[in-house]
Amino acid sequence: MHRISDEQRRIRIGRRHLLAPSVRSESPVAVADAVVALHATDAATVFLSACARLRAPGAVAVEACLYEDVSLVRLLSMRNTLFVVSAEAAPHVEASNARAVAAKERRNLLKHLAEDGNGLDEQWLAGTEKAALAVLTARGSATGSELSAAVPALRTKITLFPGKKQEAVQGVASRVIRVLAAEGRIRRDRPRGSWTSSQFRWTASEPRPVEEPGRAQAELALRWLRAYGPASESDLKWWTGWGLGQVRKALAAAGAEEVLLDSGATAWVAPQDVAPDPEPEPWAALLPALDPSAMGWADRGFHLPAEHRAALFDRSGNIGPTVWWNGQIIGGWAQRATGEPVWRLLTDAGRDASAAVEAEASRLAGWVGEARITPRFRTPLERELTA
C-alpha cells in the first residue's frame, strides 16, 4: 500500500488549493473548482477565499461570476450549508446533496404552517410562492422586504413550536424565500451595499438540470478526492453530510484507491493519484473564517496543531480567520476598525514566514480597501485582535 506523508498532504494543499503564488489562478471559477466549493454562509468569505487564490485579487471579478454571467452558483447543499460552486459542478452538487436539502426545507416549512393552526397549508404556500415569483419576474429583482411589501401573504406571522419552551412568533417571508432558493427557483442577486453585505436582492431563476443521485455522488466524491485526498471515509462523511453507506458507495463508484498515512490510518485518494506532488515555493496565506482549506476534513491534525484549536474555533466548531505557512496553520488574523489587518502567530515558523505573512497581509489590504470584514462566527483570537 502506498504511503502519503503529512508533509506531502501539506504540499498538496499549497498546489491543489492554489495557495502558492506560482499556482494562483486568473479565474474565480477555477478557484471554486480547485476546492470543489467555497463556503458562503458569510458573504465576505466567498470573496476572501477566492481572492487569496487569484493572481490579481479583486471583488469585481468575483461579483461578475456571481451576478452577471452566473458562472458561480450558490447552493444550500452539503451539511445544509450554503456553498458557492461553479455552474459546471452545480448539477452534481444539486443531485447529490442540494435536492434532498430542499425537500427537507419544504417539509419543515409545511410542518410549521400546519402546527400554527390557522389553516395555512400546501395550497396556501403554492399561491404565496406563485405571487412572489410573479413579482420577481415583473421587477427583475427585489429584496426580501420589497417582496413582503408587494405580496401580503409574505407578511403572515406564524407561531413556531407552539406550547414548547422554544415557542416563537416569526414571519414566513424568510422561510418561503429560503425554500424557493433551495429549490433553485430564485437566486441571490447583488446585495444592497458592498460585497460584504448579506442584504441580498432576489431574482427568478431557471430550474437546475436533473442528474441521477448515485452518479452525482460518485462525481462529487471524485472531485473532492482530487482536492482533499488522501482523506478518510469519516472526512468525506463529515464534508458531505452523507450516511456512511452513501460514502462507501460513492468511493467505490469513483474508483478511489486506499493509501496509508503517517498516523498508520488508511485513507483514500482519486484513482492513480499516489505520486508525490512537487513541492512549491514557500508560501503564506491569510484565509477567512470557514475557508475550504481549513474546513475540508473532519480530522485536521496534519495541518492544524491541536493546541491552536481553542483560539481559532468558536463553540460550535466553526474555524475563524487563519494564517498559513507552507500548508500548516500557524496563527490567526482579523481586521481592525481602521481596516488594517492584524495577526498573531501561534507557532514560531521563523523569519521567512513572518516576512511572507506580512507581505500577504499587505496584499490583502491592497484589494480590500475600504471594506470592513467581521466574521459571522467570532472566535476567541479574532475577538482579541479586534479589541
List Cβ neighbours of 14 (8 Å cut-off, separation of 6 or more). Answer: 20, 23, 280, 283, 326, 327
Query: Is there a domain that residue 373 lies in?
Result: yes
Q: What is the pLDDT of residues 1-20, one digit of tens each?
A: 899 999 999 999 999 999 99
Nearest residue to 50 (alpha-carbon basis) of 359, 364, 299, 318: 364
pLDDT in tens, 310-325: 999 999 999 999 999 9
- Indicate if the pLDDT at residue 208 is higher than 80: no
Q: How far is CA 189 from CA 28, 119, 131, 339, in A?
A: 17, 33, 19, 26
Q: What's the total number of domains in the chain?
A: 2
Asked whether residue 359 is assigned to any structural domain, the reply reads yes
CATH, residue 113:
1.10.10
Q: Does a structural domain hold residue 161?
A: yes
User: How far apart, in whole angstroms, are the C-alpha atoms of residue 180 and residue 166?
Assistant: 26
Give the pLDDT score at 34: 98
Evaluate whether 203 touches 140 at the Cβ level (below 8 Å).
yes
**Distance separating alpha carbons of residues 87 and 74, to the nearest angstrom:** 9
Please confirm whether the linkage preceding 230 is cis (ω < 30° from 0).
Answer: yes
Last residue in a domain, options 204, 237, 267:
204
- Nearest Cα to Cα of residue 310 among 250, 256, 263, 379: 379
Q: Which residues pair with 251 in a beta bridge?
A: none
* Per-chain mean pLDDT for the chain: 96
Helix (H) / strand (E) containing 170: strand 168-171
Q: Report the 10 Å Cβ neighbour count for 219.
A: 20
Whether the pLDDT of residue 45 is over 80: the answer is yes
Per-residue model confidence (pLDDT) at position 369: 94
- Strand, coil or helix: 282: coil
The pTM of the full predicted model, rounded to 2 decimals, is 0.95
> Mean pLDDT, to the nearest integer, of 101-110?
96
Of 259, 256, 298, 291, which Cα lies nearest the Cα of 275?
A: 259
Angle among Cα 238, 243, 247 to the nearest 5 degrees reads 75
With 90 as the cut, is the pLDDT of residue 74 above it? yes
**Span 267-289, mean pLDDT?**
97
Gap between the Cα atoms of 156 and 167, Å rounded = 17
The pLDDT assigned to 116 comes to 87
Among residues 357, 15, 40, 161, the alpha carbon closest in space to that of 7 is found at 15
In a domain, 18, yes or no: no
Average pLDDT score over residue span 26-51? 97
With cell 504511503, the residue in question is 3
Inside any domain, residue 216? no
Residues 6+ apart with CB under 8 A from 91: 208, 209, 211, 216
Looking at 159, 175, 204, the residue that finishes a domain is: 204
The dihedrals phi and psi of 85, each to the nearest 5 degrees, come to -130, 165
Per-residue pLDDT, 164 = 87
Reported as a pLDDT band with limits 50, 70 and 90, residue 304 is very high
Give the mean pLDDT of 153-180: 92
Of 169, 186, 204, which residue constitutes the final position of a domain? 204
d(C-alpha 73, C-alpha 67), whole Å = 9
185 within some domain = yes
Asked if residue 28 belongs to a domain, the reply is: no
Which residue is listed with cell 413582503? 148
Q: Does residue 230 sit within a domain?
A: no
Question: For residue 167, what pLDDT band results from cuts at 50, 70 and 90?
Answer: confident
The parent domain of residue 129 ranges over 104-204
